[in-house]
Amino acid sequence: MTPDPDLIHASPETAITEGEYVRGTSLWRDAWRRLLKNKLAVFGLVVVTLITLSSLIGPTVIKRATGYTPDYIPTSDTRLIRSFPPFTGPDGQFSWTHPMGTDNAGRDQLARVLQGGQISLFVGIISTLVSLLIGVSYGAIAGYVGGRVDNIMMRVVDVLYSLPYVIVVIVLLSMFRSQTARGQLILLFIALGSVSWLTMARIVRGQVLSLKNQEFVMAAKATGVSTPRIIFRHLVPNTLGPVIVYATLTVPQIMLTEAFLSFLGFGVQAPLASWGSLASDGIQNIAIFPWQLIFPGVTMALTLFSLNFLGDGLRDALDPQMRTT
Amino acid sequence: MLRFILRRLLVTIPTILVVITITWGLIKLAPGNFYSGEKRLPPAIEKAIRDKYGLDRPWYEQYGKMLWSIVRHGDFGTSLKYEGQSVNGIIRRSLPVSAAVGILAYLLALIVGITAGSIAALKQNSRWDYGSMTLAMLGISLPNFVLGPILVLIFSLSLYWLPPSRWGGFPSRNLILPVITLSAIYMAYIARLARAGMLEVLRSDYIRTARAKGLSEKDVVIKHALRGGLMPVISYTGPALAFLLTGTVVVERIFALPGLGNYFIQASLNRDEPLLIGIVAFIAITLLLMNLLVDIAYAYLDPRVRY
C-alpha cells in the first residue's frame, strides 16, 4: 500500500513557528478516511442511506403524487384481476402510477415495498439493539468477573450455540402467535434479539479479557470505582470498535432471519408487511404475476448486499490488522 | 481422544434434554390447545379428548410420561394430526428427502466454493478475485426464498427445462433446482472462508519452503496449501449444518418436497405436539452428533489441535 499522505504530519518546527495547533488523528477520523477509500463500502453506505430514506418518506411522497397509500384498495375497480405489471395502468397502457405494478388487490406495489422496508429495517435495528444490550452486558460481566462465573456463563453460551435456535424460535412464534400485529412484532424483537447475542457476548468477553489487566482499570480500582461502573464506564466503551463492526453485520443477518420467518408465516402479520411477507405473498402468483415477488425480493437483496459490504468495509477500516487483502 | 469423545457425548445428552424440555414447555405454556379451533367442541367430546391424551393430569406426570417414552423406547408417540401415523414413521419417511437435498447441496457448495475461493486467493486482486467475491456477497445477500422462485421462473416456467416442484425420487431432475437454491448461500460462505484461509497459508513459511525446494506450483497448491487453507471451511461445517437444516425448511416449502422441514412447519401450525417434539429432538441430535464428527475430523487434519 502506498503511504497515506494525510498520515504524514506537518513537521513540529513548522507547527511551532506558525503557532498552530496540530490536530492529531483520532481513531474514528482515521477509520472514516479508510472507509471512504473502500469503493464497495461507500457504495454500500450510499445504497443503505438511500433505501432507508426512501422507506421513511417514500410512502408519504407516493400518497401526495398518486393518491395511493400502502393499504389503499381501489374498490371502484370490480374486475377479478387487479394486478398490473410495472408501469402499466388499469387500461393496459403505459403509466407512471405504479412503477412496480400492483398486487392482487390492486394496491400500489412500490408503496408496499417501501413500507415493508420500514418494518424490515426497524426489526433489523431494534433486534440488533436488543442483542447488543444482552450480548455486551453478558460478555463484559463474564470477562471482567472471570474465574468460575466466567466458566459457567460461557458454558451456557456454548450450549445455546449448539441448539438449532431458528427451530426453537419457530416453535416460540407459532405457539404464542399474537392476536395483534403489534404484539407479534414485539414477540419477533424478543425472539430475534434473544438468539443473536451469543457471538456478541463472545467478542466482548475476549476484548474485556485483554483490557482488564491494563493500568487504567487498575487506576480505577485503586480510586475506589465500583465494579459495575468499571465494567460499563471504563471497559465497555473501549470495546466499541469490534462491537460496532459486528452489530453492522448482525443487522443484515437479523433482517434475513426475519424475512425467513415472515416468509414461512411466523413473522410480521397483516396488516403490517415486511419484505419477507411481501415475497411470501408474491410467491403464490409467481407464474402469472412475477413482479409481486421480484420487486420486494430484489429490494431486500440489494439492501442486505449493501449492508454486508458496509460491514466488511467498517471491519477493515476500524481494525486494519484484520484485513485479509 | 476417546476421553474427549466421551466427554462431548456426555454434554450432548443434557443439551438434547434441554431442547426437548424447552419445546415441550413452550407448547404447554402457550394459550389454547391443539383441538381448539374456530368452533368450540361439545363438552363431552372435549372431555374425551382430554382423557385420551391425559391432558388433565398434572404437568410433571405428562412431562415424565413423554420423556420416559422417548428415553426408554426411543418412541416419540403418535401424531395428533396425521392420525394413526407414528412420529418415528414420519421421520423415517421424510428424512431421506431432506438428507438427499441437504447432502447434495453441501457437496455442491464445497466443490464450487473451494474452487472459487482458492482461485480468488491465488489470483488475489485480479478480476477473478473481485468477480467471485462480489458474486459470493450476492449469494450471502440473496434470500433463498427469492432465489428459488426466480430459478423456477427462468428454468421451469420460461425455458421448460426442469420440473418446477415435487419430489421425484432419487436421483431425479426434480432435485436440481432445490439443490442449487439451497447451496447458493453456503457456496458463498465457503468461497469467502476458503479465500481467507488460503491467503493466510500462501504467505506462510512452509509454502515458501515448498516453493524454494522447487515443487511445481500445482503441487504446492494442491498438496501443501489446500490442507492448511481449508481448515476454516471444515470448522464452518458445524454452523453450515445448522443453517442447512433451517434452509431446507424454506426450500422444501418452495418446491413442495415432503421432507422433515415441511413436516416441521405443518406440525408447528397444527400444534402437533408429539410430531413437533420428535422433529425438534431429531434435528438437535443430528446437529450435535455432526458437530462432534466435525471436531474429530478437525483434530485429525490439524496436528496442532489436541484435546
Closest CA to A156 of A104, A189, A198: A198
CB atoms inside a 10 Å sphere around CB A60? 12
Residue B6 cell numbers, joined: 466421551
- Across chain B, what does the average pLDDT equal? 81
Residue B22 cell numbers, joined: 424447552
pLDDT of A10 over the 70 cut: no
Closest CA to A90 of A69, A119, A68: A68
Cross-chain CB nearest to B145 (options A171, A283, A324): A283
Distance in angstroms (rounded) separating the CA atoms of residues A220 and A182? 44
Residue B238: partners with Cβ closer than 8 Å, 6 or more residues away = B290, B291, B294, B295
Q: How confident is the model at residue B303 (pLDDT cuts 50, 70, 90)?
A: low
* ipTM for the whole predicted complex goes beyond 0.90: no
CB pair distance less than 8 Å for A264 and B265: yes
- The minimum CA-CA distance between B73 and chain A, rounded to whole Å, is 23
pTM of the model: 0.79
pLDDT of A211 over the 70 cut: yes
Per-residue DSSP letters for A260-288?
Answer: HHHHHTSSS-TTS--HHHHHHHHHTTTTT
Query: Picking from A161-175, B134-148, B192-206, which range would have the lowest pLDDT averaged per residue?
Result: A161-175
Strand, coil or helix: A10: coil
The C-alpha torsion from A265 through A269 and A270 to A276, rounded to 10°, is -60
- The minimum CA-CA distance between A278 and chain B, rounded to whole Å, is 11
pLDDT of A161 over the 80 cut: no
B44-60 burial: b if 16+ Cβ within 10 Å, else e: eeeeeeeeebeeeeeee
Strand, coil or helix: B78: strand
Q: How confident is the model at residue A113 (pLDDT cuts 50, 70, 90)?
A: confident
In chain B, which residues have their Cβ closer than 8 Å to the Cβ of A260? 143, 145, 246, 250
B219-249 burial: b if 16+ Cβ within 10 Å, else e: ebbeebbbebbbbbbbbbbbebbbbbbbbbb
Give the percent of chain B with pLDDT over 90.
1
Contact between A96 and A89 under an 8 Å Cβ cutoff? The reply is no
Closest CA to A167 of B177, B227, B264: B264
Distance in angstroms (rounded) separating the CA atoms of residues B156 and A287? 10
Contact between B199 and B191 under an 8 Å Cβ cutoff? The reply is no
Average pLDDT over residues B61-83: 78
Long-range contacts: A60-64, Cβ < 8 Å, 24+?
A62/A108, A62/A110, A62/A111, A62/A114, A63/A111
Per-residue DSSP letters for A72-135?
Answer: ---TT---S-----TTB-TTSSB-SS-TT-B-TT--BHHHHHHHHHHHHHHHHHHHHHHHHHHH
- The minimum CA-CA distance between A211 and chain B, rounded to whole Å, is 27
B174-224 pLDDT, tens digit per residue, is 788 888 888 888 888 888 888 888 888 888 888 888 888 888 878 888 777
CA distances from B246 to A166, A196, A249, B166 (A): 7, 15, 20, 19
Distance in angstroms (rounded) separating the CA atoms of residues B85 and A318? 57
Closest CA to A205 of A261, A128, A299, A142: A142
CB pair distance less than 8 Å for B15 and A297: no
Contact between A253 and B115 under an 8 Å Cβ cutoff? The reply is no
Residue of A nearest to B151 (CA): A286
Residue A134: partners with Cβ closer than 8 Å, 6 or more residues away = A193, A194, A197, A200, A201
Closest CA to A242 of A26, A27, A4: A27
pLDDT of A4 over the 70 cut: no
Cross-chain CB nearest to A167 (options B143, B145, B246): B246
Contact between A308 and A44 under an 8 Å Cβ cutoff? The reply is yes
CB pair distance less than 8 Å for A170 and B124: no
Residue B105: partners with Cβ closer than 8 Å, 6 or more residues away = B178, B179, B180, B182, B183, B186, B244, B247
Q: How confident is the model at residue A21 (pLDDT cuts 50, 70, 90)?
A: low
pLDDT of B130 over the 80 cut: yes
Strand, coil or helix: A38: coil
> Chain A window 293-322: which residues touch B at a Cβ cutoff of 8 Å?
293-294, 297-298, 300-302, 304-305, 308-309, 312
Give the percent of chain A with pLDDT over 70.
79
pLDDT of B5 over the 50 cut: yes
Which residue in this structure is represented by grid cell 491467503? Answer: B199
pLDDT at A3: 46
Mutate to test the interface with B, among A156, A174, A291 (most CBs of B within 10 A): A174
pLDDT of A1 over the 50 cut: no
In chain A, which residues have their Cβ closer than 8 Å to the Cβ of B245? 164, 167
- Side chain identity at residue B95, one-letter code: L
